[in-house]
């Protein structure tokens, strides 16, 4: 299996621009998670889906952030408009219920 696949791996964008991060979970996994990692706040759970349904988005920092999972093999995390404080590594992860969570390689976002 190719593992969790994320794109883009690196993105540099200007403040105010829209950013879309993409994720393909491991085939057969029915849970998908979006995490954000920064030096100050560590690994934070932003939102997760079970069977394509958003279950808990309490970690989404504000209305500028949105996530979708239109089918079992694809999810997006969108930031609009982006701000410098959104600069972080965004990890997508997937699992089968109650089993190990596997992380993607991450999307390194820099907002200037």
Partner 1 sequence: GENVEQHPSTLSVQEGDSAVIKCTYSDSASNYFPWYKQELGKRPQLIIDIRSNVGEKKDQRIAVTLNKTAKHFSLHITETQPEDSAVYFCAASIGGGGADGLTFGKGTHLIIQP
Q: Of 67, 77, 79, 104, which lies in the binding site for partner 1, with binding defined by CB under 8 A?
A: 104
Nearest distance in Å: CB 35, partner 1: 8
Residues 44-83 that bind partner 1 (CB under 8 A): 45, 48, 50, 55-56, 58
For the chain, give the DSSP string: ----EEE-SEEEE-TT--EEEEEEPPTT--EEEEEEEETTTEEEEEEEEETTEEEE-TT--STTEEEEEEETTEEEEEESS--GGG-EEEEEEEE-TTS--EE---EEEEE-
Q: Give the residues lining the site for partner 1 (CB under 8 A).
A: 29-31, 33, 42-43, 45, 48, 50, 55-56, 58, 91, 95-106
């Amino acid at each position: 299996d190719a593992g969790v696949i994320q794109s883009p791996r690196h993105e540099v964008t200007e403040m105010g621009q829209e950013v879309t991060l993409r994720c393909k979970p491991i085939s057969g996994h029915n849970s998908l998670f979006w995490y954000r990692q920064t030096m100050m706040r560590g690994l934070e759970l932003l939102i997760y889906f079970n069977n394509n349904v958003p279950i808990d988005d309490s970690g989404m920092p504000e209305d500028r952030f949105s996530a979708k999972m239109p089918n079992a093999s694809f999810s997006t995390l969108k930031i609009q408009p982006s701000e410098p404080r959104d600069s972080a590594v965004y990890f997508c992860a997937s699992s089968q219920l109650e089993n190990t969570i596997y992380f993607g390689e991450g999307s390194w976002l820099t907002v200037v």
